Structure 1
Amino acid sequence: MKKTIGLAVSITIILFSIVSFAFADELHWGFKKASGGAQIEIGSELENMLTKYDAIYRGDPESKTIYLTFDNGYENGFTERILDALKEEDVPATFFLTGHYVTSASDLVKRMVKDGHIIGNHSDKHPNMARLSEEQMVTEWKNFDKKLKEVAGVERTYYTRPPEGVYNEAVLAAGLKHEYRHIFWSIAFKDWEKDVRRGGDYAYNELMKQLHPGAIILMHTVAEDNADAIPKFIKDAKAQGYTFGSLDDLYKK
């Protein structure tokens, strides 16, 4: 019996080691939060990798232009309020959607397109992209594009964001090869828990504390806090001399 248990433990350790090795190159996007109006720093090694594959996480540090992006995996009832605020203030945004969102919230997707916002590719089924083959990655992006075209008439997407910010060099390389530019971010905060309510002031204060020139802002539309904060944030950012641009503007620069 002891020999059997020992053998089972040994096999488990070996298998765990193989799995750990296989996924050892997974990278999780994260950074020290910006403060004092200064851009975040991610280090030269990662900067070089992003540059190599035409991926971005921020804009010009000398320009007070900022970029709003939202991740939508499922609808929680607050996206319409966000769209209303963007329309009222004439602010463009990019919505990174999943295939589930496109088919389950099609009316909102159509409105995003009608209002002139960019649709980004957050994958079809929200997998860990770093654990997929290139063929599987492309299938995720293409399947999403197919659903988007059927629902909203958009031919294809050109910007992508990996689910949960998990990626590696192979993901970035496959994206560039198939004309999907990876978009990360330089401002974010904990806002993805749909049943946790912290209040609009929480979201507003997080945005204002981290605000800096060239910021790419990530928010999740499932949070009512964000719907509460967006109108005031836009007005106060404009009052500080910031303007809001689109990702298309950023890539042209």
Structure 2
Amino acid sequence: MAKHISGILLGSILLVVGILVNPYAVKAEEFHWGFKKATDGVPPSAGSELDKLLDDHGAIYKGQGEEKVVYLTFDNGYENGYTESILDTLKKEKTPATFFLTGHYVKSASDLVKRMVKDGHEIGNHSYDHPNMANLSEQQMKEEWEKLDEVLYSVAGVRRTVYARPPEGVFNAKLLQAGNDLGYRHIFWSVAFIDWHKDQPKGKDHAYNELMKQLHPGAVILMHTVSPDNAQALPDFIRDAKKQGYKFHSLDQLVKEYESKSSMTQ
């Protein structure tokens, strides 16, 4: 019995020591954003647990209404030569978008960042160094977001971002709350496909078909600008979505819709 008690005490001491030596030995719960893809124009659902977690923190991944509206968003970690074509298409089709940028992108593709701002697109915060944000302390989260804002201001004159997106969609309640406390609102997505491998193009038709198959009212679309497939498919997608009665709105408009619907249900 004494040996058993000693073993328990020793185990407890080792656990405590382990936490003190390595504060990440016990990690906070984290979620990897995902959902079953939309089909037949029916919006996807993340499930009641994640829906509630996001709602509690004002985070959004789709529109709340049945109106045919689309919100285009792009994640930019590095430049691969296709963003200019995407910007040309958006300008020609008079379509707004939000670009979630990293620190590396802002510094290495400053001319493109300046053009995004000049063309009237929104800039989102994808963190400075693209880490697993859910594993960071609140101070480290703050530094990631604010460091991106600082370099963005120095390059393009944007004083700060208000929309954040966690790298690789990894998040938890702590991250969402820390963002809220600093004035950031997390924006996820309801339409996506594997398009971030710059050396694995699947062709224009692949990107176009994925976008059209998953299209639904209130769709928040995530694309990566490193893909030639996306740059080539975007013109036809925008035009054909419009032919189906869809309109393209900004995230600012999405937030207004979200808040209007939320106030009506309270």
**TM-score higher than 0.5 here?**
yes
User: Which among 162, 172, 175 is matched to residue 171 of structure 1?
Assistant: 175
Distance 1:114 1:19 in 2: 44
Partner AA of 2:249 in structure 1: G
Q: Look up the SS of the partner of 1:139 in the other structure.
A: helix
1:138 aligned partner: 142
Counterpart-to-counterpart distance in 1, 2:122 and 2:24: 37
Shift in CA distance, 20/174, structure 1 to aligned 2, threshold 3 Å: closer
Residue 41, structure 1, aligned to residue 29, structure 2: no
Q: Return the alpha-carbon distance in structure 1 between the equivalents of residues 234 and 27 of structure 2.
A: 37
The alpha-carbon deviation at position 21 of structure 1 amounts to: 6.5
Counterpart residue identity of residue 80, structure 1: E
Q: Which residue of 2 aligns with 1:3?
A: none
CA positional deviation for 1:134 = 0.5
Question: Residue deviations 1:215-239, cap 9 Å, x none?
Answer: 0000000000000000000000000
CA-to-partner distance for each residue in 1:41-91, whole Å, 9 max, x for gaps? 111111111111010000133110110000000000000000000000000
**Within the alignment, does 1:249 sit opposite 2:249 as a pair?**
no
What code does the residue aligned with 2:147 have? Answer: N
The alignment status of 1:233 with 2:234, answered yes or no, reads no
In 1, the alpha carbon distance for the partners of 2:203 and 2:28 equals 38
Give matches, 1:1-253, under 5 Å: 22-23=26-27, 25-253=29-257
Partner of 2:10: none
1:119, 1:41 → 2: CA distance? 26
Q: TM-score, normalised by structure 1?
A: 0.92
Matched positions, count: 239
Q: CA deviation at 1:32?
A: 0.5
Q: CA RMSD in A?
A: 1.6
Q: Tell me how far apart the structure 1 counterparts of residues 47 and 85 of structure 2 sit (CA, whole Å).
A: 37
Offset at residue 197 of structure 1 (A): 1.1
Q: Is the 8 A contact 2:69 2:249 kept in 1?
A: yes
**Distance in 1 between residues matched to 2:66 and 2:26, nearest whole Å:** 41
Letter aligned with residue 31 of structure 1: F
Q: For 2:151, what is the secondary structure of its paired residue?
A: helix
How far residue 19 of structure 1 moved from its aligned partner, in angstroms, is 8.8
Q: Which amino acid aligns with 1:189?
A: F
Q: Is the 8 A contact 1:94 1:246 kept in 2?
A: yes
Taking the aligned partners of 1:73 and 1:252, their CA distance within structure 2 comes to: 28
* 1:90 counterpart letter in structure 2: K
Aligned counterparts of 2:28 and 2:41: Cα–Cα separation in 1: 34
Any idea what the Cα deviations from partners look like across 1:19-49, whole Å, max 9, x if unmatched? 9962361110001000000000111111111
Query: What is the percentage of aligned positions where both structures have the same residue?
Result: 65
